[in-house]
Amino acid sequence: MLATILLLPFIGALAIYFWPGGNARVYKNIGLAASGLALALLLPLTLAFDANAPVSFTLAWMPDIGLDFSIWLDGVSLFWAWLVLGIGFLVVWYAGHYMAPDDGPRRFYGALMLFMGAMLGVVLSRNLLMMFVFWEMTSVTSFLLIGHWRHKKEAGAGAKRALLLTGMGGLALMAGIALVAIILKDAGLAASLTWDAVTDARAEILGHSLAVPALVLMLMGAFTKSAQFPFHFWLPGAMEAPTPVSAYLHAATMVKAGIYLMGRLYPIFGDLDIWLLLLGGAGVITMLMGGWLALFCHDIKQLLAYSTVSQLGLITAYYGFGFRGVGEEGVVLTLDLMLVASHAFFKAGLFMLCGVVDHGAHTRDWRKLGGLFRKMPYTGALTIAGCLSMAGAPLTLGFVAKKLFLEAGVRQGAVSGTLGVVLMWAAIFATVFTMAYCLRLVILVFFGKPRDPEVVSHAHEGGPGILFGPAVLVGLSVLGGLYVPAVAAPIASWTNPLFYGLDPYYTFAFFTKLDFLFWVSMVVYFVAGPLFFWLPERLGAVDALQKRVAAFITFFDKSMNDWIPAFAGWQRGIIHSHSLGRNSFVVYGFAFGVVAWFLPFGDLRAAAFEWQGAGTLVGALLLVGGAASLAVLLFSRKTIFRVLALGAIGLGVAVVFLLYKAPDLVMTQLLVELVVLVLVLLMLRTIGLSDHKPLRGALRFGAPAAGALAGVVVASLTFLAASSPDQAMPGPAKDQTIASFYLQNSGYPAEAGGHGGQGSNVVNVVLVDFRALDTLGEVVVVAIAALGVASLLRWRRHPTREQILAALPDPAQVASIGDFQLPRQSPLVLRCLAPVVAALALLFSFVLFYVGHNAPGGGFIGGLLTAVALLPFGLASDRVQYDSRFFRHTYSIIPVGIVFAVGTGLAAVALGAEFLRSGYAKIPVPLLGEWGLSSALAFDVGVYLVVVGSVLTILKAFSRS
Amino acid sequence: MTLMMSLLAGLLAAGAVVLMLRRTLLDVVFGVAILSQAVNLVMLVSSGWAEESRPPVLVEEGLATAAGTVSQVDPALYQDPLPQALILTAIVIGFALLGFLTVLAARAFETSGSHEVGELETEDAP
């Protein structure tokens, strides 16, 4: 049920995007249906709500690191879900009347539903990481909505500003969540990053040294989202959005996400000393500034935008005043959501009314309006009612909020010393602006003489449809104050028990707590407020202030436009320059540097060197040989010597495999080395010889340094791993390891009840049975590489033949590699013997493939040998045979092999076992007795085919050049 | 043995990185080839070595005899099969990628007419 509610807005968005031939009406109805249905589903959950046992829904994803898809409906989420969906419904309704039908409706309603879903996800997420995902989603969708009117330059700039600031905040939030996860881990608690788990771990979190950084980072996220100083300035720019979006964004979503987060953080971090300073300080400054700037606005929508800034500051400061660090005397907030509800109602309503004025009078500038009440009586009356609530007139919900706020401020001022007192007086002073700008909004627009009679005389009232939403919202915000328990009782009973450990009751009364300071503040408010009404004109500084704000915004935009690309360019210059050498240097240096950082070099002393007699001597010989070959490879000027040195190293590694008792590896290595040698020679035939080019610049020193680092790291890592305590008995496999399981179960017959691998070559059984899924993946990698080669060849056909020929090196030069002359024509001996050798090799490859399950061999080795067996044809006849029908289509063997391998796995599924589970059967064969056949053999056929096809495809790549 | 092989792996890795940072196509191809050798050695050598251990191919233990009985395998007698299985596929994958790289190098040369990896950038621009 809960998951359905969360999904509904997203389903609505999908329906809108994919509805064939829809129009604005259809989209609006889809939006109404989705949000209405979600509300209808929410109702039974609300009626059956039990604060001590919230409904939740969890899908485990990565529980080990605390990452689950986990949503719940505790009291706080319940409140917010109503707010988001309820106002969302009204906003969609309003948009249906406000937006022009041809105004990109699919984009608009689609993004609006996504926005609704994202915000719903934020408030329903139980898991912090999941909340973060939805959090970022609100940033992205609000970007789309603010910039909806693409023809307006300012809309694009405002959208970008909003995205940049809230995006940065989002990153900080993520870092903060990560710190919380670290704290929980340090405290030895389970990795579960849910709100309830984190709230329960309050004591551990507050006791940890990372508590303050975690709080500050998460508050950065909340402050950017909620437009708190100094991140406030994106919000007025966001009013370039279509008005329904503004109403939604300012009232119930986006900016409220930050408030929601503060509300969640309050029970956890409310005891930290820095809490009051951070939230109280930022909140009060924001209140003052937003209120002050709102006074100077000409555009009433901008006035409302700044009033939102100011009101958000008020809610933030209210949370700050909830600071409990002083012990028992501290203030405990019980009705914080009252402030949220009150602001959401009147602000959404007022924004919508502002849109009605815009529609009716075609301007929002009060310098052209005035006396509009006669023309638009309903709009005017509703605006007055909304402003009364915003200003906090008695008997409105706004009054309740204001009283709660002032009480909290006064009580905090009384208990927490100078800081509390300063903040309290600043807050009381800041509320004065609210009264002033409310008066300005109402009086300048609706009363007095029309300043531009032309505009006002043409103004007309909005219809009942467009006024429905604002009427409901303003009505709620006024009536809610008449009977406070109707709003306060559910909020208190939903949120108190779980989060604040309080009884589900609330205390609120109009005339209790006759605190002296409180009455002082009320007097200041109602007397000084009207005085400020005239202030902007008195100061005569309206235009100057507007210009200063605009200059700052321009400066910010320009800085971002300049700095971000500059930073990106600088970064790209380091990690992705145009030089492959420099890129590689960064990649390898970083990779080996990270390993070096974590490598316990100190343990090297403890890892004893053990003299192993002949073994050590042979090892030393191999080391010397490897060093010599490497020296040739690095420093020789003769390419043929370097190719031979490459082969020598490969052979040396094969000897190491032999010493480590790995017969399968020896065979694979020898075959691969052979093919690599041919491959490199073929490549040289194409690209010819090249001069040695010394490195330039810093890489001259960087390359040897990176090499030395890699060498030290790899050698130490290997030695440490080989002689770690876990390897107390070096060499043979141990008990209780994966290896011992494989060894003990590999040959065990299935009919005896064990994991029947039915093979004595454990390596092969591991490949085709125990870890067959791995092998399947690896075979696919090989196939992809080969298909990549095939596609490169296909690409080659595009340039003209002349271009290719012109680009090719001189044939006389190509034919010789160092002192070694490639024959112009294949030797007679090779041409005559090739079929014989190939036939024998093919036969042997089949044998190796077949015995692979019980003796060294198998699909990989058999496939390699088959490809090698066919190699002489290519070498002997140069180009004739490779172009024959068989060789032309080598790459089509590859999918056949993959189908074979996957088919084996699916056959097991069809028979009711797991994917790739092997089976075993004894088939009676006449004369020979019983023939044991494992289904793993069929899988190995797939491996074999892919290897043959891939190797031939790769070799063939050079046949035509 | 372990020490010598660790040194060998380190040496090969060092050489591989130096080669991959060089400027010619051939050097880069050589470097990638050597690097996969070094990585395979790391995996194998990490599993440890003992002179008397057996290859992981079962001879009698752990297999059904004619009488149908099965004797228990003593893992301590055998070399660890898991790294071997991993390396086996790694060798083949390494080859496939090297094959792709050689063809890519040849294509790059045909397109740019240069052996130098640094000059490929000029071909990037449309």
Give the pLDDT confidence of A374-427 residue by residue, as tens digits: 888 888 889 989 988 888 877 788 888 887 887 777 777 777 777 778 888 888
A548: distance to nearest CA of chain B, Å? 44
pLDDT band at A260 (very low <50, low <70, confident <90, very high): very high
Decide: helix, strand or coil at residue A125: strand
The string over A637-650, giving b where at least 16 C-beta atoms fall within 10 Å of a residue's C-beta and e elsewhere, is: eebbbbbbbbbbbb
Write the secondary structure of A626-671 as one string of H (helix), E (strand) and C (coil). HHHHHHHHHHCCCHHHHHHHHHHHHHHHHHHHHHCCCHHHHHHHHH
Q: Which residue of A has its CA nearest to B13?
A: A711
From the list A592, A615, A714, the residue facing B51 with the nearest CB is: A615
pLDDT in tens, A633-674: 998 888 889 999 999 999 999 999 999 989 999 999 999 999
pLDDT band at A733 (very low <50, low <70, confident <90, very high): low
Tell whether A138 is within 8 A of chain B (Cβ): no
Q: Which residue of A has its CA nearest to B38?
A: A714
Q: How far apart, in whole angstroms, are the C-alpha atoms of residue A24 and residue A359?
A: 18
Tell whether B21 is within 8 A of chain A (Cβ): yes
pLDDT band at B30 (very low <50, low <70, confident <90, very high): very high
Q: What integer pLDDT is reported at residue B76 of this predicted model?
A: 78
The number of C-alpha atoms within 13 Å of A830 and in the hemisphere containing its C-beta is: 14
pLDDT band at A500 (very low <50, low <70, confident <90, very high): low
Pick the residue of B42, B43, B49 with the most A CBs within 10 A to test the interface with A by mutation: B49
Using CA atoms in the order A636, A640, A644, A645, what is the torsion angle rounded to 10 degrees?
Answer: 10
Phi-psi region of B55 (alpha: psi -120 to 50; beta: other; left: phi over 0): beta
CB atoms within 10 A of CB A557: 16
Q: What integer pLDDT is reported at residue A958 of this predicted model?
A: 74
CA A821 to chain CA mean position, Å: 57
Find the range with the poorest average confidence among A237-241, A451-455, A457-461, A481-485.
A481-485
CB atoms within 10 A of CB A803: 12
**If you search the block for the tokens 């807005």, which residue do you land on?**
A9
Instruction: Supply angle C-alpha B117, B119, B121, rounded to 5.
Output: 100
Tell whether A501 is within 8 A of chain B (Cβ): no
Q: Which residue did the predictor score with more confidence, B68 or A37? A: A37
B residues 79-98 near A, CB within 8 Å?
A: 79-82, 84-85, 87-89, 91-98
CB neighbour list of residue A931: distance below 8 Å, 6 or more residues apart: A922, A923, A924, A925
Q: What integer pLDDT is reported at residue A431 of this predicted model?
A: 80
The strand pairing partners of A790, in sequence order, are none
0.80 exceeded by the pTM? no
Tokens of A231: 């991140």
From the list B6, B53, B63, the residue facing A732 with the nearest CB is: B53
B70 and A683 within 8 Å at the Cβ level: the answer is no
Residue A128, φ and ψ in degrees, nearest 5? -65, -40
From the list B53, B73, B92, the residue facing A947 with the nearest CB is: B92
Per-chain mean pLDDT for chain A? 81
Closest C-alpha to A936, from A766, A741, A743, A751? A766
Tell whether A744 is within 8 A of chain B (Cβ): yes
Q: How far apart, in whole angstroms, are the C-alpha atoms of residue A298 and residue A168?
A: 31
pLDDT band at B125 (very low <50, low <70, confident <90, very high): very low
Say if residues A901 and A943 touch (Cβ distance below 8 Å): yes
B79 and A763 within 8 Å at the Cβ level: the answer is no
Q: What integer pLDDT is reported at residue A881 of this predicted model?
A: 43
Q: What integer pLDDT is reported at residue B126 of this predicted model?
A: 39
Say if residues A900 and A768 touch (Cβ distance below 8 Å): no
Q: Which amino acid is at A66?
A: G
Q: How large is the average pLDDT for residues A692-714?
A: 84
Q: What integer pLDDT is reported at residue A517 of this predicted model?
A: 60
pLDDT at A315 over 50: yes
Say if residues A930 and A923 touch (Cβ distance below 8 Å): yes
Within 8 A of A641 by CB-CB distance, chain B residues are none
Asked, as a colleague might, if the bond just before A230 is cis with ω within 30 of 0, I would say yes
Q: How large is the average pLDDT for residues A925-950?
A: 80
The number of C-alpha atoms within 13 Å of A740 and in the hemisphere containing its C-beta is: 13
Q: How large is the average pLDDT for residues A287-303?
A: 86
Q: What integer pLDDT is reported at residue B38 of this predicted model?
A: 95
Q: How far apart, in whole angstroms, are the C-alpha atoms of residue A920 and residue A749?
A: 9
**Cα separation values, A573 from A568, A582, A583, B126, Å:** 8, 10, 9, 20
Tell whether B123 is within 8 A of chain A (Cβ): no
Find the range with the poorest average confidence among A365-379, A594-608, B76-90.
A594-608
**If you search the block for the tokens 């490859």, which residue do you land on?**
A845
Q: At what angle do helices B81-112 and A663-687 cross, to 10 degrees?
A: 0
Q: What integer pLDDT is reported at residue B96 of this predicted model?
A: 92
A residues 937-956 near B, CB within 8 Å?
A: 947, 950-951, 954-955
Q: How large is the average pLDDT for residues A911-922?
A: 73
The strand pairing partners of A62, in sequence order, are A67
Q: Which residue did the predictor score with more confidence, B26 or A495? A: B26
B residues 53-82 near A, CB within 8 Å?
A: 53-59, 61-64, 70, 72-73, 75-82
pLDDT > 70: what percent of chain A?
85
Q: How far apart, in whole angstroms, are the C-alpha atoms of residue A440 and residue A453?
A: 19
Residue A858, φ and ψ in degrees, nearest 5? 120, -175
B66: distance to nearest CA of chain A, Å? 12
Say if residues A651 and A672 touch (Cβ distance below 8 Å): no
Q: How far apart, in whole angstroms, are the C-alpha atoms of residue A221 and residue A171?
A: 7
From the list A675, A732, A792, the residue facing B107 with the nearest CB is: A792
Q: What integer pLDDT is reported at residue A45 of this predicted model?
A: 87
Closest C-alpha to A916, from A880, A889, A954, A942? A942
pLDDT band at A268 (very low <50, low <70, confident <90, very high): confident
Highest average pLDDT, of A109-118, A749-758, A826-835, comes from A109-118
A578: distance to nearest CA of chain B, Å? 6
Phi-psi region of A912 (alpha: psi -120 to 50; beta: other; left: phi over 0): left
Q: How far apart, in whole angstroms, are the C-alpha atoms of residue A606 and residue B77?
A: 26
Residue A798, φ and ψ in degrees, nearest 5? -70, -45
Within 8 A of A650 by CB-CB distance, chain B residues are 37
pLDDT in tens, A611-638: 777 778 888 999 999 999 999 999 888 8
Q: How far apart, in whole angstroms, are the C-alpha atoms of residue A192 and residue A450?
A: 62
Q: Which residue of A has its CA nearest to B24?
A: A693
B31: distance to nearest CA of chain A, Å? 10
pLDDT band at A67 (very low <50, low <70, confident <90, very high): confident
Ranges of H-type helices in A576-638: 580-598, 603-606, 614-635
CA B84 to chain CA mean position, Å: 11
Q: What is chain B written as a DSSP string?
A: -HHHHHHHHHHHHHHHHHHHTSSBHHHHHHHHHHHHHHHHHHHHHHT---TTPBPSB-SSTTSB-TTS-BPPP-GGGBB-HHHHHHHHHHHHHHHHHHHHHHHHHHHHHHHH--SBGGGGHHHH--
Within 8 A of A748 by CB-CB distance, chain B residues are 62, 70
A747: distance to nearest CA of chain B, Å? 5
Q: Which residue of A has its CA nearest to B101?
A: A789
**If you search the block for the tokens 């709080």, which residue do you land on?**
A215
A695 and B19 within 8 Å at the Cβ level: the answer is no
Q: How far apart, in whole angstroms, are the C-alpha atoms of residue A351 and residue A302?
A: 10
pLDDT at A693 over 80: no
Q: Which residue of B has its CA nearest to A732?
A: B79
Q: How far apart, in whole angstroms, are the C-alpha atoms of residue A656 and residue B41?
A: 8
CB neighbour list of residue A561: distance below 8 Å, 6 or more residues apart: none
| Cβ burial, residue A741 (10 Å; 0-12/13-18/19+) | middle
pLDDT band at A728 (very low <50, low <70, confident <90, very high): very low
Tell whether A752 is within 8 A of chain B (Cβ): yes
Tell whether A651 is within 8 A of chain B (Cβ): no
Q: How large is the average pLDDT for residues B16-28?
A: 89
From the list A703, A718, A778, the residue facing B45 with the nearest CB is: A718
pLDDT at A594 over 70: yes
Q: How far apart, in whole angstroms, are the C-alpha atoms of residue B2 and residue A774?
A: 28
Tell whether B32 is within 8 A of chain A (Cβ): no
Q: What integer pLDDT is reported at residue B124 of this predicted model?
A: 43
The string over A136-156, giving b where at least 16 C-beta atoms fall within 10 Å of a residue's C-beta and e elsewhere, is: bbbbbbbbbbbbbbeeeeebb
B74: distance to nearest CA of chain A, Å? 8
**If you search the block for the tokens 């909005």, which residue do you land on?**
A462
Q: How far apart, in whole angstroms, are the C-alpha atoms of residue A680 and residue A633?
A: 14
Tell whether B126 is within 8 A of chain A (Cβ): no
Q: How far apart, in whole angstroms, are the C-alpha atoms of residue A141 and residue A139?
A: 6
Q: How far apart, in whole angstroms, are the C-alpha atoms of residue A734 and residue A737?
A: 6
pLDDT at A176 over 50: yes
CB neighbour list of residue A764: distance below 8 Å, 6 or more residues apart: A664, A852, A853, A857, A858, A940
Within 8 A of B124 by CB-CB distance, chain A residues are 578
Q: How far apart, in whole angstroms, are the C-alpha atoms of residue A131 and residue A122?
A: 5
Tokens of A455: 């505009």
A179 membership: H or E segment, kind and range: helix A153-186
Q: What integer pLDDT is reported at residue A739 of this predicted model?
A: 80
B102 and A760 within 8 Å at the Cβ level: the answer is no
Find the range with the poorest average confidence among A215-224, A458-467, A657-666.
A458-467
pLDDT at B9 over 90: yes
Q: What integer pLDDT is reported at residue B33 of this predicted model?
A: 94
Q: How many residues does chain B have?
A: 126
Closest C-alpha to A886, from A873, A868, A896? A873
B8 and A739 within 8 Å at the Cβ level: the answer is no
Q: How large is the average pLDDT for residues A2-14?
A: 91
Residue A736, φ and ψ in degrees, nearest 5? 60, 30
pLDDT band at A92 (very low <50, low <70, confident <90, very high): very high
pLDDT at A882 over 50: no
Q: How far apart, in whole angstroms, are the C-alpha atoms of residue A391 and residue A487?
A: 19
Find the range with the poorest average confidence among A923-927, A932-936, B93-97, B120-124.
B120-124
pLDDT in tens, A422-444: 888 888 888 888 888 888 888 88
Within 8 A of B88 by CB-CB distance, chain A residues are 664-665, 668, 763, 767, 860
Cβ-Cβ contacts under 8 Å between A and B: the total is: 382
B104 and A792 within 8 Å at the Cβ level: the answer is yes
A623 and B21 within 8 Å at the Cβ level: the answer is no
A747 and B46 within 8 Å at the Cβ level: the answer is no
Within 8 A of B95 by CB-CB distance, chain A residues are 672, 675-676, 951
B residues 103-122 near A, CB within 8 Å?
A: 103-107, 109-111, 113, 115-118, 120-121
**Cα separation values, A244 from A152, A250, A363, A535, B41, Å:** 17, 10, 17, 31, 65
Phi-psi region of A913 (alpha: psi -120 to 50; beta: other; left: phi over 0): beta
